[in-house]
Amino acid sequence: MKWKQLVQVFILTNPNLKSNVAEALFYFIDYLLYLPHELTKQLTKDLSINIEKEAKHMLYSEKLKEAPTFAEYFKTVREEGFEKGIEKGLEMGIEKGIEKGKMEERRNLAAELLREGFSVEKVAKMVKLSLDEVKEIGKNL
Amino acid sequence: MREEGIEKGKMEEKRNLAAELLREGFSVEKVAKIVKLSLDEVEAIGASIHLNQPES
């Protein structure tokens, strides 16, 4: 594993290698130094640091994406992205919900205050709605 | 999840208005009735107002 990593890092970080040569080399090494799945995972993890630092340009190569080590890397990246997306979506859902709940409740409270006999101006100030909005709510009481 | 947010937003606004009304000098009972929170909740809000901004 150590060897494989050394060679791979060498390929990834060597600016003199043309990308098609690097690709071929990468493939060659991936198949020559075949590692069990667990080790490939570990190697991918170590390697991803190098990929992120220096070899982004190589990732545009479709061919390279299928080489075992890279394939594992992409799988991880995709899964992480997917999870982040879901998390973000949930967060946004909650935030939108909060906004909606606030607006709904402001209108409820405004109605309640108007019923208690507060002036439109006072209600608008207290519940942070515009005068027009409060007037509108007053009409519907 | 969205519903959770709506509930949270409503509670936040209720507590804001409760605090506002308490600052205006309304009684705990009156505030509780207007914003529809329990007496205990309004009392707790009142206590936190006094902690955060002591009257000078």
Q: The complex's ipTM? A: 0.80
* pLDDT tens readout for residues A15-69: 677 767 777 777 777 777 777 777 777 777 777 777 766 665 565 566 666 677 7
pLDDT at A80: 87
CA distance B9 to chain A (A): 4
Which residues from B are below 8 Å from A98, CB to CB? 5-6, 8-9, 12
A7 touches chain B (CB under 8 A): no
Per the CB < 8 A criterion, the answer to whether A22 and A58 are in contact is yes
Task: Write down the pTM of the prediction.
Answer: 0.60
Domain count along chain B: 1
At residue B37, the 3 state secondary structure works out as: coil
Per the CB < 8 A criterion, the answer to whether A11 and A49 are in contact is no
Which residues from B are below 8 Å from A126, CB to CB? 17, 20-21
pLDDT at A62: 61
Among candidates A20, A6, A29, A25, which has minimal Cα distance to A60?
Answer: A20
Token pair listed for B35:
């914003």
Domain with B19, as residue range(s), is 2-52
Q: Is the pLDDT of residue A136 over 80?
A: yes
